[in-house]
Amino acid sequence: MCGIVGYIGNREAYPILIKGLKRLEYRGYDSAGAALVNQNGELSVYKTKGKVSDLETFCQDKDISGCVGIAHTRWATHGEPSSLNAHPHYSESKNLAIIHNGIIENYADLKKKLISDGVHFRSDTDTEVIVQLIEYIQTKKNVDLLTAVRLALHQLIGAYAIALLDKREKNQIIAARKQSPLVIGIGDNEFFLGSDATPIIEYTDKVVYLDDDNVAVMRLGEELKVVNNMNHEMSPEVRTLDMNLGQIEKGGYPHFMLKEIFEQPECLENCMRGRVNVDANKVMLSAVIDYKKQLLNAKRIIIVACGTSWHAGLIGKQIIESFCRIPVEVEYASEFRYRNPVINSDDVIIAVSQSGETADTLAAVKLAKENGAFVFGICNAIGSSIPRATNTGSYIHVGPEIGVASTKAFTGQVT
């Protein structure tokens, strides 16, 4: 549940980074940190165990100037919660600094090799391996940073969303993702970065959702550049956020969960808006109408989901079997993807996810498509990975759900 924030532009970066980290506090974390490049090209990393407020206190007497920066809230995986293991992490030369969401599964092998080649590590994290590997490649092969990043990513096994600073290129942030979400906000000669849209919406509603195996280069005064791991330039789709600032604030409630409980009637109305024709006594879902043949020909429906979405699927099974007389199975996506399931071309897979980024559910979608099944997605987050990976689907339009215990998203999924 780690959080990523980044900024490059003409404003002071630090206040934007801190406010962004506070927007992401709902994710849960044990430490926080930020890296900034000032006008003199000096790269400073500040980090501490504890809350974002502790980071603010730590930075009170520090140089927090600069219009380029990245920041992070960490939930400990490799290495205990500590200031040393908190992000960002320097490279050995301290020319580079990185933040990272996800887990690198082969980090131990990579670390062992780098140590044997003389690289010294400061932390116990898998994240530091990434930045050390990038610098090692950059130095040994004498290549630019983008090339070094691409070559390093080819060696990583696992999931990542990363953002990287180089003090020698103070007007640049490089970001990349695989199986971990990353959103780029596009402003007026400025870019914003977030692990979701909540740190960005205050400044711009124009965003690019980075695809798996893509690397983004944000440079001051230039258009956003996106390449894949083979260095083929991509044409990123700029989307308009279907979200407003009020949706990610508490609105007078003591906490988000209570707010979202009371939002449910309005959310259900939004979920059905434009889809229920009372006069004609019909429900009109374009995703169903456009793919009616595939759905009607289904011999079996398999609902794949995790957590609360799985519970919504259990209700969906009863409803679909009752009305449609088609057998429905409900599977944990985490089990489905690993157990070599029987999938046929006349199966319909319904993938349910609030965030649209649930890694196991996304992997289940890809597995189903590889086996020729028709995949229908039910998601809340517009433009997220699962809607882009499925054949078609429906958004539930309940707005961002900040509370960890699902309320309105569950009722929207059932609806």
Going along the chain from its start, the domains and CATH numbers come out as 3-241 (3.60.20.10), 249-414 (3.40.50.10490)
What is the predicted pLDDT for the residue at 176? 98
Predicted pLDDT at 247: 80
Structure confidence by residue, pLDDT tens digits, 333-351: 999 988 889 999 999 999 9
* pLDDT per residue as tens digits for the range 249-305: 888 899 889 999 999 999 999 999 999 988 888 888 999 999 999 999 999 999 999
Mean pLDDT value across residues 357-379? 94
> At residue 1, does pLDDT exceed 70?
no
304 or 248: which leads in pLDDT? 304
CA–CA distance, 56 with 22 (Å, rounded to integer)? 11
pLDDT at 68: 98
Please state, in angstroms and as integers, the Cα–Cα distance from residue 135 to each residue in 69, 78, 114, 148, 219, following that order: 19, 21, 11, 7, 20
Which pLDDT score is estimated for 251? 84
Percent of the chain with pLDDT over 90: 82
The DSSP call for residue 126 is S
Tens of pLDDT, residues 77-131: 888 889 999 999 999 999 999 999 999 999 999 999 999 999 999 999 999 999 9
Per-residue pLDDT, averaged over 301-320, amounts to 97
Q: What is the mean pLDDT of residues 389-410?
A: 93
pLDDT in tens, 166-195: 999 999 999 999 988 999 999 999 999 999
Taking residues 47-53, report their average pLDDT: 95
pLDDT band at 242; cut points 50, 70, 90? confident
Whether the per-residue pLDDT at 46 is higher than 90: the answer is yes
pLDDT band for 61, please (50, 70, 90 cuts).
very high
Q: Is the peptide bond before 254 cis (omega within 30 degrees of 0)?
A: no
Sheet-wide strand order for 225-228: 89-90, 96-101, 160-166, 172-178, 214-219, 225-228
For residues 104-133, b (16+ Cβ closer than 10 Å) or e, as one string? beebeebbeebeeeebeeebebbbbbbbbb
**pLDDT digit string, tens, across residues 187-217:** 999 999 999 888 999 999 999 999 999 999 9
* Residues β-bridged to residue 100: 162
Cα angle 350, 383, 294; round to 5? 30
Q: What residues form DSSP beta bridges with 395? A: 379
Q: Residue 33 and residue 47: Cα distance in Å, rounded? A: 4
pLDDT at 117: 95
| 244, pLDDT greater than 80 | no
Residues 36-46, mean pLDDT to the nearest whole number: 95
- Tell me whether strands 89-90 and 96-101 are parallel, antiparallel or unpaired: antiparallel
Q: Percentage of the chain with pLDDT > 70?
A: 100
- Cβ atoms of 130 and 140 closer than 8 Å: no
pLDDT score of 243 more than 80: no
The pLDDT tens digits of the residues spanning 209-238 come to 999 999 999 999 999 999 998 999 999 989
The CA distance from 298 to 312, in Å, is 21
Amino acid 279: pLDDT: 83
Peptide bond into 88 cis (omega under 30): yes
DSSP state of 88: P
Give the integer Cα–Cα distance in Å for 80 and 256: 29
- Taking the alpha carbons of 27, 31, 32, 35 in that order, is the dihedral positive or negative? negative
d(CA 213, CA 395): 25
Model confidence band, residue 41 (pLDDT cutoffs 50, 70, 90): very high
